[in-house]
C-alpha cells in the first residue's frame, strides 16, 4: 500500500469534509432530540430533499449561492409543517410514536422522490468559482471541499452565538433541560419547539445541498448517512451539540481512514466505534444520563 505523510494528511482532510456533513446532520438531530425528545428519522429524507431542491433552484437561477440559501429555507418550512401537523399531535405519548411517524415519513419521501425524479441520480456541479483545486503544500485539494469545511465552521459558530447570546437561545438551552419550569415561568414552548424543528430540518437541507456536488443526488442518498448521523449523536451524547460536533468530526475521520486502509471494514466501523464508546461511556462523550427517561 502506498503510504506517506502527504497521503495521510489528504485522507485526514477528506475525513474532515465527511465529518462536516455528519456534524450538520447530527446538530439538527441533536437539537430536535434535546428539546422535543423526538428522534427525527425523516432527517435523511430532508437531507435528500435539500439536495434535490438545491439542484432545481440552481437550474432555475443558475446561481449556486441562491440555491445554497433557498433550499435550506424551504426545508425549514417543510420542518415547520411537519412539526405542526404530524409531530405535535404525538407529544406526551411514548417516544416511539414520533419515531415511527418520522420513519414512515422518510419512506414516503424517498418513494416520492423516486416517482417524481426517477431512480437515476443527478450530477450537481460545484460553482465555477470553486471548481478547481487548491495547493495545500502537501497535496492539491478540491476548492469546493475546503469551502464545505469553512461553511460548516460558519454555521457552527452562528448556531453557537444564537444559542449563547440570544433570548431565544436562552429559552432553548433551558427548555432542553427542564421544559416544565420554562413553561411555568410564562414561556410558550410550543412556538419554540416549532422553530427548533424547523431549524434542525433547515440544517439537514443545508447538509444536502453542500454534499450534493461531492456525493451526487439520488433518492436513497439520505438512507445510510442518517443512520451514521444517529451514531454520531449517540456517540457525542444525546442532545449535546458539542458532542455532535466532536463525534461528527471523529467519525468522519474514522470512516475516511478505514475506507483508505481497510475498505472492507468501512461499512461497519461506525458501529464498532459506537459499541466501544457506549461500553466505556454509556451516555456518550457529553451526554447527561437519564435523558431518555
Partner 1 sequence: MLTVDAIHTYYGESHVLQGVSLRVDAGEVVALLGRNGAGKTTTLKSIMGIVPARRGTIRFDGADITRLPPHLVARRRIAWIPEERRIVPNLTVYENLRLAMLKAPVDGKEASARLEEALAFFPRLRERLTQNGKSLSGGEQQMLAIARGLVAGPALMLVDEPTEGLMPIIVRNLTEILHAINARGTSMLLVEQNLEVALALARRVYLIDQGRIEFEGTPDDLRGHPDLLRRYLGV
**Contact footprint for partner 1 (CB under 8 A):** 167, 170-171, 173-174, 176-178, 180-189
In three-state form (DSSP H/G/I as H, E/B as E, the rest C), the secondary structure along the chain is: CCCCHHHHHHHHHHHHHHHHHHHHHHHHHHHHHHHHCCCCCCHHHHHHHHHHHHHHHHHHHCCHHHHHHHHHHHHHHHHHHHHHHHHHHHCCCCCHHHHHHHHHHHHHHHHHHHHHHCCCCECCCCCHHHCCEEECCCCEEEHHHHHHHHHHHHHHHHHHHHHHHCHHHHHHHHHHHCHHHHHHCCCCHHHHHHHHHHHHHHHHHHHHHHHHHHHCECCCHHHHHHHHHHHHHHHHCCCCHHHHHHHHHHHHHHHHHHHHHCHHHCCCHHHHHHHHHHHHCCCCCCCCCCCCC
Closest approach of Cβ 159 to partner 1, in Å? 16
Nearer Cβ to partner 1 (18/189): 189
The minimum distance between CB 239 and partner 1, in angstroms, equals: 11
Minimum Å gap between C-beta 215 and partner 1 is 36
With respect to partner 1, which residue has the nearer C-beta, 37 or 139? Answer: 37
* Minimum separation from the CB atom of position 35 to partner 1 (A): 13
CB of 39 to partner 1, least distance (A): 22
Nearer to partner 1, 62 or 177 (CB): 177
Residue with Cβ nearer partner 1 (34 or 50) = 34
Nearer to partner 1, 185 or 280 (CB): 185
Amino acid at each position: 500500500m502506498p503510504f506517506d505523510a502527504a497521503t495521510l494528511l489528504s485522507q485526514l482532510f477528506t475525513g474532515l469534509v465527511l465529518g462536516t456533513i455528519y456534524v450538520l446532520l447530527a446538530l439538527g438531530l441533536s437539537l430536535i432530540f434535546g428539546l422535543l425528545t423526538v428522534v427525527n428519522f425523516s432527517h435523511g429524507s430532508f437531507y435528500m430533499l435539500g439536495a434535490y431542491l438545491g439542484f432545481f433552484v440552481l437550474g432555475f437561477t443558475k446561481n449556486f449561492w441562491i440555491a445554497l440559501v433557498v433550499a435550506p429555507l424551504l426545508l425549514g418550512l417543510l420542518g415547520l409543517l411537519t412539526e405542526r401537523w404530524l409531530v405535535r399531535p404525538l407529544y406526551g405519548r411514548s417516544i416511539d410514536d414520533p419515531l415511527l411517524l418520522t420513519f414512515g415519513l422518510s419512506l414516503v419521501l424517498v418513494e416520492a422522490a423516486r416517482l417524481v425524479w426517477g431512480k437515476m441520480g443527478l450530477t450537481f456541479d460545484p460553482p465555477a468559482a470553486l471548481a478547481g483545486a487548491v495547493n495545500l503544500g502537501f497535496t492539491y485539494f478540491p476548492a469546493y471541499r475546503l469551502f464545505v469545511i469553512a461553511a460548516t465552521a460558519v454555521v457552527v459558530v452562528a448556531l453557537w452565538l444564537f444559542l449563547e447570546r440570544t433570548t431565544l437561545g436562552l429559552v432553548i438551552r433551558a427548555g432542553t433541560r427542564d421544559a416544565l419550569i420554562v413553561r411555568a415561568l410564562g414561556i410558550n414552548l410550543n412556538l419554540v419547539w416549532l422553530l427548533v424543528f424547523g431549524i434542525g430540518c433547515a440544517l439537514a437541507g443545508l447538509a444536502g445541498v453542500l454534499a450534493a456536488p461531492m456525493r451526487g443526488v439520488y433518492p436513497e442518498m439520505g438512507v445510510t448517512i442518517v443512520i451514521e448521523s444517529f451514531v454520531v449523536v449517540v456517540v457525542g451524547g444525546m442532545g449535546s451539540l458539542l458532542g455532535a460536533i466532536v463525534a461528527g468530526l471523529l467519525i468522519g475521520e474514522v470512516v475516511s481512514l478505514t475506507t483508505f486502509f481497510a475498505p472492507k471494514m468501512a461499512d461497519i466501523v461506525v458501529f464498532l466505534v459506537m459499541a466501544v464508546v457506549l461500553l466505556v461511556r454509556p451516555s456518550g462523550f457529553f451526554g447527561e444520563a437519564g435523558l431518555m427517561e
